[in-house]
Chain A
């Protein structure tokens, strides 16, 4: 699909903020199956410093600093992206999962994702939960699909149940959460077996084509994972919607966990209490239709 993405983040502060430093992961990556045709980042008030660079994981990062006193900060990222469906091997023909857990045989770039970041050490109970789907010799993707289905079936989507700081043990106990929780749970399951898995931050189409169901997580940023399959590469998996993403998922950034790729975070001086509003809009474009971000931006 080709689509226009608008991702608006709005902070309001009860007291004036004197200096704010922010790091944003808001520019979609360019990948074999995805191209970012256009991207712009509009920040109000205008930052004193903006600098863009690639982070350790190859994500495109923008650092910016707002240095004048402000009570409100609006960050709007607008991108035009094309996504095609990645190739997907027949699940039963993938190698046994143990091959993905053989660390000595893994490429260097995959070993990175066997380990949790220090902030996301999973509880031991994850291991037991995962093992049920991974009997010896089972083809990797076959097992992953079952694990994905179990998470989808046994957990309830509930935006009120968790925050980004909720420990995984709590998610596992309450069986409730949102896309971030399901993604990190499945990642923790795979890593507990030694299988590399990446956390992916991105978007879903807001209003799907007629006769397709609207997916969960479509009005905010979405999260899923990719699992490393020897001989194939990274295969995306969406436990929130119990599917293997094709061309409806726009990839922003990936890392070990949410903290590596959070769309925007910052440290401010002053500000008192703050409120945050996030709005994401992903609109599919018809063939030949110009992208919204191709058009001149109104002043």
Chain B
């Protein structure tokens, strides 16, 4: 709210673009001249103006918050924020008129058809190379030309199931193509997320303008991919193949997988048998029909493509060659991602389609052509030189920014390997207003839209991802360079019907993605359960200690602090040095410091980091609300510096407990009871058992000296104080407390309850019919429950030191069984999934 108070209350009606000043000589997307609004933007601007600046600024803040809470991230390589960089969205969309769009749409579809035909030829007869319409070296010197993929027939002759096109508008108002993304174009998921955020933030504006919806595009894409099944297997199993959580756009892989109803997989989740691709699930190998990939061509198969790829599937090319699986986009489609092809498109379009190319490309020269080479060398100063076949870390070079010496060096490099370079005319990008602080600023924009195979033809996404430069004077628009994005609104001539992927009239029935659980996902859910529970346990331990430390003066039993300290040091939640403090004041300070600065000693930071990491990896399995809770937990973590009191620490710990409780609520109430939930809950139950056994043993260790001093904190840590009071109406005693925590099967926080739950889960896990019965996990957990029965007998007898020792021994045996159970589950279900199902 603080940002709003800085805005002066206007006395006149708000003029949205009143102070907005586009740069001279640059085409602006909203203003046709000073104060002259473009006609197609009027409805949008009026809807904002009737809202007023306060409301707009407040919604802008809310939208940013929503993005943070939804965990929309974009990974910038080398960024200190790592995989958590929030996605940046500007609230003012790029608005495209209906007329202009219909022209663009025709040009885009023509372009995709053209590129698709070129790909068919390059991987087939190569007439274009032999006839010289395309210089042979454009393909042959191109590292993206994958010879193992030559000669493979692709179903329905479709290479490009999804084609991304970067468009820029030149000062004369014409759109031109900057680049084509043909192997695994990114950004469509972000475009969708941007749309959802704006739909919630500016509903009036949406009602005021007729804007094309995006859902029908995604539905067409989903239906088309699902219909590609190479076998008669129905419904088709489609997976979305991601390079994994460290990829820059992992967020949208998970997002799109959930939206489209495809299973999100990494290369390691897939395996090839009999030249068919299978997904490794807990229930064995399940055949895969279509792979919608977000992995670059050459990484898809370490056997026939890049041998050093750990992201792909060995034997995938062989499976594709045998016609047993469809990869979209088809393998090899990266070959025309090179800008070197742009100068040849007009002639190719005439040859292949008998049409004039409708959508021009930015003027481009490929130095692999002698005539182009000499032009480029003569005009280097006015051009932008780029690698023709880009690999990571290669940047465009602006000729005009080079010194004479640097330019000579560049010319020499070009002469030595001319086919490695292209040069492009410098494009003066158009500008659009961007909300910055409390006003609008012009920024350069590049618009990426998408063309997808749809039925027998291609369909254009009526919208897309508009990216703006990070500052006014940077001419390069790139999310990797910290740019922002905008939603893109394509206006319709008439009303637009609402289509949602979730519409009940949806004609196709896809297998819900949740019925299939890749072994890797099961493992991550299991550990997510364990770490969530571990985090809660540590917080409860710390809170019980801090609250007693804070209430030193008023507490009934002053021994509680020292007893608890002893237990927590024993459990390695507090460092040993802390126990050696004789000065109370010092002890207080150091405790606050440990928690406020998230010292690694407590283990809390590690547990919460693991929760966040694991949740990121399985986020396509979590509901948006569940993810939001886990994300809040992550953002609540730092307490900061400065003067921190006990109260602050307690508030902090309570907030974490509340967040964790909210997650547990989601887990119990919102998750389908499939194997995914089972592994999550199994992890939680096992972890809670382990923690309970640990804290009970710690309490037994001090019980003979300070019985009453430990019982109350123990009940509190195990969240059983209320239950105890209702049962016993008395001052807590160790024997009755042990009974409640160990063997009372109705106490949902007690050990007996946890072991019963673990046992139940294990019995319901999918099993290999060849495995011995009972399984190792079953035997272990049965043994732990027997042991617990013996402990009951001991605990109910009169209290003595011998009994304490015997009880400790039994609890130790249970701890061993629990550890072995966890190992057995890991062994059978996660690490050796291959062996199990071979």
Contacts and interface: CB of A to CB of B under 8 A. Distances in A.
A69 interface: yes
Given A19-B273, A49-B274, A259-B307, A267 B137 contact: no
A21 B315 contact: yes
A55 B148 contact: yes
A267 B314 contact: yes
A117 B148 CA distance: 13
Interface string B298-328: 0000111001000000110010011000000
Given A56-B148, A56-B150, 7 more contacts: A18-B835, A19-B271, A21-B272, A21-B314, A55-B147, A65-B315, A267-B315
A18 B318 contact: no
Question: In which size bucket is the chain B interface?
Answer: 20 to 34
Interface string A98-121: 000001000010011011011000
Interface string A13-46: 0000011011100000000000000000000000
Interface string B266-280: 000001111100000
B143 interface: yes
B143 A118 contact: yes
Given A19-B834, A21-B303, A67-B838, A115 B141 contact: yes
Nearest to A56: B147
8 contacts: A21-B314, A53-B321, A55-B147, A65-B274, A108-B136, A118-B143, A124-B416, A267-B314
A112 to B, nearest CB: 5
Contacts of B51: none
Given A18-B838, A21-B272, A114-B137, A51 B318 contact: yes
Interface in B791-838: 834-835, 838
Contacts, number: 78
Contacts of B834: 18-19, 269-270
B67 interface: no
A98 to B, nearest CB: 15
Nearest to B315: A21
Nearest to A57: B147
Given A23-B303, A115-B140, A108 B273 contact: no
B140 A267 contact: no
B151 interface: yes
B275 A65 contact: yes
Contacts of B271: 19, 269
Contact of A19 (B143, B318, B838): B838
A65 B147 contact: no
Given A48-B273, A65-B273, A67-B273, A115 B137 contact: yes
Most buried by B among A21, A57, A117, A269: A21
A290 interface: no
B130 interface: yes
B306 to A, nearest CB: 9
A92 to B, nearest CB: 30
A234 interface: no
Given A23-B304, A65-B315, A112 B151 contact: no
A63 interface: yes
Contacts of A67: 273-274, 838
B140 A65 contact: no
Given A18-B838, A51-B318, A267-B314, A65 B272 contact: yes
A281 to B, nearest CB: 28
B129 interface: yes
A135 interface: no
A22 B318 CA distance: 10
Contacts of B315: 21, 65, 267
B143 A63 contact: no
| Residue in A49, A51, A53, A270 with the greatest tally of chain B CB atoms within 10 Å | A49
A159 interface: no
A137 interface: no
Contacts of B303: 21-23, 265-267
B269 to A, nearest CB: 13
A5 to B, nearest CB: 25
A53 B320 CA distance: 14
A51 B835 CA distance: 25
A267 B275 contact: no
Contacts of B136: 108, 111-112
A299 B175 CA distance: 71
A63 B273 contact: no
Contact of B302 (A53, A115, A267): A267
Contacts of A115: 137, 140-141, 419
B274 A48 contact: yes
A103 B137 contact: yes
Nearest to B304: A23
A203 B130 CA distance: 33
A115 B417 CA distance: 11
Contact of B130 (A51, A108, A267): A108
A21 B318 contact: yes
A82 B143 CA distance: 36
Contacts of A19: 271-273, 834, 838
Nearest to B834: A18
A69 B129 CA distance: 46
Residue of A51, A63, A114, A269 ringed by the most chain B CB atoms within 10 A: A63
A67 B835 CA distance: 11
A43 to B, nearest CB: 16
A63 B275 CA distance: 10
Pick the most buried of A22, A124, A266, A267: most chain B CB atoms within 10 A of its CB: A267
Nearest to A65: B315
A256 B126 CA distance: 19
B832 to A, nearest CB: 9
Contacts of B137: 103, 111, 114-115
Interface string B251-279: 00000000000000000000111110000
A51 B275 contact: yes
A103 B136 CA distance: 10
A68 B314 CA distance: 16
Interface string B104-146: 0000000000000000000000100110000011001101000
Contacts of B318: 21, 51, 63, 65
A265 B315 CA distance: 12
Interface in B194-227: none
A19 B315 CA distance: 11
Contacts of B302: 267
A51 B322 contact: yes
Contacts of B321: 53
B445 to A, nearest CB: 34
Interface in A46-81: 48-49, 51, 53, 55-57, 63, 65, 67-69
